Amino acid sequence: MSRAQKTVRGIAWAVAANLGARGVGLIGTLLLARYLDPADYGEVMAASVVASTAQSFSNLGLGQYLLVKPQADDRVIFHVTFYSAILCGGALLIGLALGPTIGPIFRVTQIMRYLPLLSVVALLDRISSVPERLLYRDLRFKLVSLNNAFGDFAYTAVSLALVTRTGGMSIVWGNVARSSLRAAVIFKVNGRRGWLDPVPIRRDITRQIFGFGLRLALGNWAGFLARRWDNMLTSRYFGPAVMGAYNYAYNLANVPALQVGEQIGDVLLPSFGHLEGQKRRNAFLRSTRMLALLDFPLAVGLGAIAPTLVIVVFNAQWHTVGPMLVILSSLSLAYPLGYTAGCYLQAAERPMLLSYLEIGKALLLFGGIILLGRLGPLWVCVAVAAAYSLHALASLWMVQLADGVPFVESIGGLCPPLAACGPLVLAVLAVRFGLHRRDPLGLTFEVLAGIAGYVAGAVLF
């Protein structure tokens, strides 16, 4: 099988497996909301932000090195394992020590109830990320996709089984189940060869991997802060209950981006690493067009049905999610484009450009939240959506500067799928205002109308 065929099949498996798992997970997440108070959910998310911050800031771009340098030998792989585990463990200990101080600052006083176990989960994820990168490097996308999907199934089953008895802790135990299952499969498939076989730590290899990784680290940190610490600012301004609703809306809005766009990006990064010159540029243009064809109708459709979806699925204490979701659904238009462009820049060995983009996005996002957020929670959503949209456009322009991929051609390939979403929105609105129904049947008709509208738009444009 050619590399192109492996890439396309990998994308198909990644998208299909994650859509199936995410479908089940989405249903589980919506059911959880019926049993969880928004404030309790906000407390769990705050603890998750602290644990994942320690995990992210200790990464230093080492995992990406294995994807961009597919010829790395076993000595290099063990060095990545060793430094990843040591740095992550130390950062998590610092996070645990700071937890009691962070809680009152951001009005999340129960954070230490959840943080210790979530820190253990973060360390397990970091250790298992190295053998998982090896599977991606070897283009074994099907195995990784199915493993991730079954992990998501485990999260949904465990969290739903425990929610009535343990409340917010059910989400923590769901994370434990998901990470443990994924790690067990990855360790079994890879064994210990290469990544866990100890070798003497060498200065030249250390300099080699950190020389690459540190150029990515700043951008990774900025990107992480933009993705997660908007929650903490929201909590500081409006309290954990509003933050819980905002986080729910953000996560729902990101379903198309993470489960379609990011899965495609994860497959494309190692694939771009095997290509050079014009072949890589052509692959980027084709991949962004395919991404738009798959992702845009999901993102626009989600925003179109959001008001009805929230009324049908959530109880009254969660209804503020609706208008937030309408605004934030634009994230799934912008985020995958920026993510794919970032994968391309990594493969082209231009990590500093990626760092500049992520820093710019973080500055735009936090600056917007600070300036507009005090006006109300919806203005936080506006600031976040604007920052991601500008970042996507800047990313495509940076790919042109870095490797000559025409910006106009990149944008031109996105216009037909976006135009095809116009009839989708019109069809949904026509059904909503024609039927005047905010019940499961009305939601079903809106979804069916949106599908028909997009098909008509695809034929037209």
- Taking only the tens place, the pLDDT of each residue in 165-193 is 998 999 999 999 999 999 999 888 877 76
Least confident of 73-82, 318-327, 411-420: 73-82
Three-state DSSP state, 61 = coil
Two tokens at 162? 């425990």
CB under 8 Å to 159, separation ≥6 — which residues? 28, 32, 170, 171, 173, 174
Is 356 exposed, middle or buried, given 0-12, 13-18 or 19+ CB atoms closer than 10 A? middle
Alpha helices, DSSP H only, in 314-376? 321-328, 331-347, 351-372
Least confident of 62-66, 206-210, 383-387, 401-405: 62-66
Least confident of 103-112, 147-156, 297-306, 389-398: 147-156
Query: Can you tell me the distance from the alpha carbon of 45 to that of 108, in angstroms, rounded to the nearest whole number?
Result: 10
Query: Can you tell me the distance from the alpha carbon of 6 to that of 141, in angstroms, rounded to the nearest whole number?
Result: 8
The pLDDT value recorded for residue 332 is 83
How far is residue 91 CA from its own chain's centroid?
22
Query: Can you tell me the distance from the alpha carbon of 213 to that of 134, in angstroms, rounded to the nearest whole number?
Result: 17
Helices 203-238, 38-57: crossing angle, 10 deg rounding: 160
Maximum separation of any 2 CA atoms in the chain, in Å: 71
Q: Enumerate helices (H) and strands (E) in the chain, giving the number of each.
A: 18, 0
Q: Is the pTM of this model over 0.85?
A: no
N-term to C-term CA, the chain = 34
Which residue has 């300036």 as its token pair?
371
- Do 351 and 210 touch, CB atoms closer than 8 A? no
The pLDDT value recorded for residue 318 is 86
Higher pLDDT, 338 or 380: 380
Q: How confident is the model at residue 45 (pLDDT cuts 50, 70, 90)?
A: very high
On the CB side of 108, CA atoms within 13 Å amount to 36
The pLDDT value recorded for residue 275 is 67
What percent of the chain has a predicted confidence (pLDDT) above 90? 40
